[in-house]
Amino acid sequence: MMKFLKKDSYWIGIGLAAIVPVIIYFILHYTVVYFSEKLTNGIPLIQPHNVILVSIFLNLIIFYRYINKKDYDKSGRGVMIITFIYTIIYFIWRFAFLA
């Protein structure tokens, strides 16, 4: 499995960057819901849009790891493309409700 991640390919970067934020979002979301129920009787500790933003932001850790390794430029660019796409979608979604 780890040998798969050591190839330099746009598709590996795109796939990894598309899946990891979704997994991180669900982990953070259910953690926040659990602790909100336990600590504040259902009052959210963190707003849902902030959980989305944090999950997108943590995608930059993957980007940093790939871009700083020699000969992994394509994978790093794939991660960067998906991170930018997720960020643009987030801002369109977030500020569409304010208009």
The three state secondary structure string of the chain is: CHHHHCCCCHHHHHHHHHHHHHHHHHHHHHHHHHHHHHHHCCCCCCCHHHHHHHHHHCHHHHHHHHHCCCCCHHHHHHHHHHHHHHHHHHHHHHHHCCC
Domain count, the chain: 1
Q: How far is CA 5 from the centre of its chain?
A: 17
Q: Tell me: pLDDT of 97 over 80.
A: no
Taking each helix axis as running N to C, give the angle between helix 73-96 and helix 48-57, from 0 to 180 degrees, rounded to the nearest 10: 160
pLDDT of residue 99: 59
Average pLDDT of the segment spanning 68-78: 85
Is 1 contained in some domain? no
Q: Give 51's pLDDT tier (boundaries 50, 70, 90).
A: very high
* Residue 37 lies inside a defined structural domain of this protein: yes
Q: Mean pLDDT: which of 21-30, 69-78, 87-96 is highest?
A: 21-30
- Domain span including residue 87: 10-96
What pLDDT, on the 0 to 100 scale, is given for residue 53?
92
What's this model's pTM, rounded to 2 decimal places? Answer: 0.84
Domain assignment present for 91:
yes
Report the residue count for the chain: 99
Residue 87: inside a domain = yes
Q: What is the pLDDT of residue 98?
A: 65
CA distance 88 to 93: 9
Whether residue 36 is contained in a domain is answered as yes
Given the structure tokens 């959980």, which residue do they identify?
A: 51
Confidence of residue 78 (pLDDT cuts 50, 70, 90): very high
